Structure 1
């Protein structure tokens, strides 16, 4: 009787071990398939980036008189209007005010400035196109810059599901009007709300004007000669 129990127990253990080995072996092709997929995906991405860089290079070559600068963040840019007097650029904690226009690499307008409207952007705190987020941080006040963005720092695989297609590199023209600290921006908003509350119905709002010397460096606070 005891021998029968021992034999039965040994038989069950053998079945259990055998089943575990079969399950482990059955999973191997899945792991291999996953690795193959990742490798092919990486190859496709590399090929896509190379193709888009060739397209951007063609745009640059078609405009030999325009000096495009290659950034360290994977895009190219050129100045339409350059501010050589100021030295400050937007940083996290600032609010930027800008307009921009989006075209394809052939120069066809996808979104005009009128469609996109003036933008108010809290630097590095709002979700915008990666290339645009990085590009704005190299601009000075009153500058106008043309950017060439590959799709992986534009709208990527899905586009914007409206006018921008999948994997579409873009040409963006950006005008940075101004930027101020978040504290100054919040104070300005509060003042506007206060003025609106204190406004007498039917009375025209008071407009204050002052002359601004645009040749003033915002870093040194000195006027140019």
Structure 2
């Protein structure tokens, strides 16, 4: 149990490979130090909480609020795996950081509410730490206000019982929270550089996150954004766990 693992929730292999590299680079880890596991094709191993000391969960074109009858078998298996990870992390058996799509699965699995009422446009958005965020071991060293990248169709309406709100903004009130001392979740993407995010935008250009003709305008805003703070969360996670 010496390495961390990136858990892939993206069916698009190219986007998944790029997301892994973004996480690995932001965490300053070698390939030996950050393993990869594809949850779209393989369920979470039964021994995950003893095999790895911690896990980071990437984004996905899936939505936890998709009607159950429209979900594929792969999505249902993936969400069951992430729900088990959330339970294990909340119980302190493994450290986990859920991002974007992952926060929705963790929120629902732990008894919170996810809604389509808080989507955010693709691109940079302001994020502010709460008082608890400013005192948090992972978030506390960040600037109290910073810019992060978002692209999502759903958000947390009600925190899971016992969750501590760490970051917020006006468009999506729950930007980050912690459960216990080993489960973290962010609505924003902490891992990509601006360049990596624009490449991801190209993959999902027709995915309903933004109007395809607006790609160049949004990409310019992304590339101009200062994104110094979000990767620091990942470096802190890799160091702490």
Give me the TM-score of the superposition, normalised by structure 1.
0.24
Higher strand share: 2
Greater helix proportion: 1
Q: Which structure has the larger Rg over C-alpha atoms? A: 1
